[in-house]
């Protein structure tokens, strides 16, 4: 069983940046004074807009994969129409016009349907992470019928965190105080700083 999330990230200090918190929790908001911040945010905007356009206008370019068991292989499938009732995780992969993988999203299955969870990775053309997103919609929080969490981590080309955002809202997209909530579905997750690192963890993607 997965453990509850508690992330401790240690970063090198760089000139021109405000002091980073030593512990980055799920609800942490942080922004550095790095001169690369605006470049990173612009890269994320371009990449996320490209991905969003694919989802809206050309879903045939989304490569679909499925993993039946936690330690099982990740296999490409033509669609999710015949997906088994129980599986470990589903994946979406998107390439740019040159064939470079720029986006990989993981959607772990919730057999109880008490939560909907996704981990989204945005990479640049060289395979460096631009941003990592965690989104979780869930019930049974004690503070709202439905809560929606969104965490986004932004990284520069040296894999240094330059910004981290967190937002939590209810089912009507009204902001709420996370301190009043119980988080039953904050599972441990690991961020991969490069596409190569991600592929080593998920080798079937390279087939």
Q: Name the DSSP letter for residue 187.
A: B
**Does residue 152 contact residue 131 with C-beta atoms inside 8 Å?**
yes
Q: What is the pLDDT of residue 20?
A: 57
Which tens digit of pLDDT belongs to each residue from 153-196? 999 999 999 999 999 999 999 999 999 999 988 898 999 999 99
**Does residue 181 contact residue 147 with C-beta atoms inside 8 Å?**
yes
Which tens digit of pLDDT belongs to each residue from 102-123? 999 999 988 778 889 999 999 9
Confidence of residue 81 (pLDDT cuts 50, 70, 90): confident
- 140: region left, alpha or beta (phi > 0 left; psi from -120 to 50 alpha): left
Residue 144 has pLDDT above 80, yes or no: yes
**Does residue 104 contact residue 125 with C-beta atoms inside 8 Å?**
no
Q: Whose CA is closest to 50, among 92, 107, 103, 100?
A: 103
Who's near 196: CB < 8 A, 6+ residues apart? 127
Distance of alpha carbon 183 from alpha carbon 126, whole angstroms: 36
By residue count, the chain amounts to: 207
Distances 8 to 35, 145, 188 between C-alpha atoms, Å: 24, 30, 11
Confidence of residue 204 (pLDDT cuts 50, 70, 90): low
* Residue 194 token pair: 């490069």
Which tens digit of pLDDT belongs to each residue from 66-78? 999 888 889 999 8
**Does residue 147 contact residue 168 with C-beta atoms inside 8 Å?**
yes
Distances 162 to 2, 12, 18 between C-alpha atoms, Å: 28, 12, 10
Kind of pairing between the strands at 74-77 and 63-67: antiparallel
**Does residue 30 contact residue 48 with C-beta atoms inside 8 Å?**
no
Residue 186's SS3 state is coil
Residue 105's SS3 state is strand
Confidence of residue 206 (pLDDT cuts 50, 70, 90): very low
């Amino acid at each position: 069983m997965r453990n509850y999330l508690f992330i401790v990230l240690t970063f090198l200090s760089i000139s021109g940046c405000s002091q980073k918190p030593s512990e980055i929790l799920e609800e942490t908001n942080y922004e550095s004074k790095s001169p690369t911040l605006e470049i990173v945010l612009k890269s994320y905007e371009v990449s996320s807009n490209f991905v969003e356009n694919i989802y809206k206008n050309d879903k045939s370019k989304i490569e679909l994969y499925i993993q039946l068991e936690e330690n099982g292989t990740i296999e490409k499938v033509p669609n999710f129409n015949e997906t088994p009732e129980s599986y470990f995780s589903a994946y979406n992969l998107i390439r740019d016009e040159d064939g470079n993988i720029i986006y990989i999203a993981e959607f772990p299955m919730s057999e109880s349907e008490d939560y909907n969870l996704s981990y989204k990775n945005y990479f640049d053309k060289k395979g460096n992470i631009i941003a990592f997103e965690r989104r979780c919609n869930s019930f049974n929080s004690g503070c709202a019928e439905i809560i929606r969490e969104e965490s986004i981590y932004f990284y520069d080309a040296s894999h240094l965190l330059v910004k981290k955002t967190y937002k939590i809202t209810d089912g009507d997209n009204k902001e709420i105080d996370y301190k009043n909530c119980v988080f039953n579905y904050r599972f441990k997750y690991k961020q991969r700083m490069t596409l190569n690192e991600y592929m080593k963890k998920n080798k079937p993607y390279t087939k």
